Amino acid sequence: MRGPHNIWRLIQTGATFERTGAMGVILDAFDTPAPLRIAARVLAWPFKWLGEKGDPSMPPAVRALSALGPAYIKFGQILSTRPDVVGDEMAQELRVLQDKLPAFSIDAARAQIEAELGQPLEEIYSEFSEPVAAASIAQVHRARLAETGETVAVKVLRPGIDKAFRKDIDAFYFAAGFIEFFSPASRRLRPTEVIAHFEGVVNGELDLRLEASAASEFAANTAGDAGFQLPDIKWGTSGRGVMTMSWAEGEPLGDNAALDAAGHDRAALSERVLQLFLNHALRDGFFHADMHQGNLKVAANGDIIAYDFGIMGHIDEYTRRVYAEILFGFIRRDYHRVAEVHFEAGYVPADRDVEEFARALRAVGEPIFGMDATRISMGKLLSYLFEVTERFGMETRTELILLQRTMVVVEGVARSLDPRMNIWTVAHPVVEDYIKKSIGPKAVLRDFSQTARVLARFGPRLPRLVEDALIRQIQEPTPELSRPWAVRLGWAGIGAITASGCIGFLIYLT
């Protein structure tokens, strides 16, 4: 329950921010109005001694969030994907936040697994190691399945983490409401919506069944991707608080020396990691949104292995098509068409000037085309594009911010493998293939077929629906609908509906 009982936690939070020097940094990042800024500093200063000291070697904001515990660490990570909220500088700082905490005991992990799976640990795993990695929400153990002898990774939620997160999220909501009430100017930052977004992400990570489901869907989408592997989920030994998957054996993608020693072609890996991400985002609309070196390995055969599916990004098909047209327009340097697509999609308010918007887009695109190919950054292009659209009143779309952030991370991974990679050359075949399939003649036929299938499902009900509509028209005519429905609709419209219905009915029969 959100209420005054959260005040003590917020006092501790403010005191820690003040003691670590993070208070001013965070207030600046959120562009906090002067009255609220003064009130925060005045209220926090007397309680400074109650705050956590943290690690002095860390930047102030990272130091404070790390000291406050798992919920705050995770909140900082989520905010690192929202430069629209905290600004580019703070988002960049939060990206280096190391999500590493002391591991909990193997006895606690054993109790969690046995309670979840209803069997003694020895009956499930013939071997079970000490933690090999510990994060804010869970930790990972290396184990061996008793039934098959296969080596697996076992992810176990921290005991009591659900309750701890709920308590802090409750305090976050209380703080957001307090800020919105006393500072109307802060409402443009939508504090409550930010907390709601955070709560949604955390809810997904606190139920490992959802992460396992995401991994399973991701695996189904990418089954045909050459040079790419995902761990297999072991559903029989997974549950809400435990997830078992096959062990990912390979060299860390961030260790160039190890990759060279193993004989891997880093230039080829650089190209593949970028093309894989673009395929997942454009082709599937479902992508790994935490694709940094720590979550990627290279198998002995050269395949890239991805793991940790707690944060996944989703883009619906309509949005993908819109952005395909936008990207296609940039490639052709047709800035007027790019501007039109933004207006047609409703991204930019209709009362803005299309020509002025097109000129602003030209200012984004032309410098990019004038660069040396090895210096071009798609991440920067997306960043510049979002800056321009924001100036013209485009509302923030969380999934696109996540796409931008992931693109920057993946691009950084690719360039760390091969600094001279030509990003346009690598991305071109993936983007071109998607454009042909999504906005070409084949796409039109596919859309028509899907529409017909939907109509087919209503085929048996169509006569009754038409009859009901005619009866309502006879019983309750309106001035603009008083003419016969066939005349109002027009023969072309009737023909289109009849043709669609016939095609749909044929599909229904087959």
Residues serving a catalytic function are 290
Distance CA 130, CA 14 (A): 36
Sequence-ordered strand ranges (E) for 10-124: none
Q: Among residues 49, 46, 68, which one has the least CA distance to residue 26?
A: 68
Q: Among residues 1, 71, 7, which one has the least CA distance to residue 43?
A: 7
Distance CA 135, CA 129 (A): 17
Please list, in sequence order, all residues whose beta carbon lies within 8 angstroms of the beta carbon of residue 62, skipping any fewer than 6 positions away: 76, 93, 94, 96, 97
Residue indicated by tokens 């048996």: 460
Whether the CB-CB separation of 192 and 176 falls below 8 Å is answered with: yes
Whether the CB-CB separation of 295 and 277 falls below 8 Å is answered with: no
CA distances from 18 to 15, 48, 156, 177, 215 (A): 5, 6, 34, 21, 40
3-class SS of residue 100:
coil
Q: From the centroid of its chain, how far is CA 13? A: 27
Distance CA 427, CA 424 (A): 5
Distance CA 383, CA 374 (A): 18
| Residue 128 main-chain phi, psi, to 5 deg | -150, 115
Amino acid identity at 163: K
Whether the CB-CB separation of 186 and 201 falls below 8 Å is answered with: no
Q: Among residues 388, 341, 382, which one has the least CA distance to residue 362?
A: 388
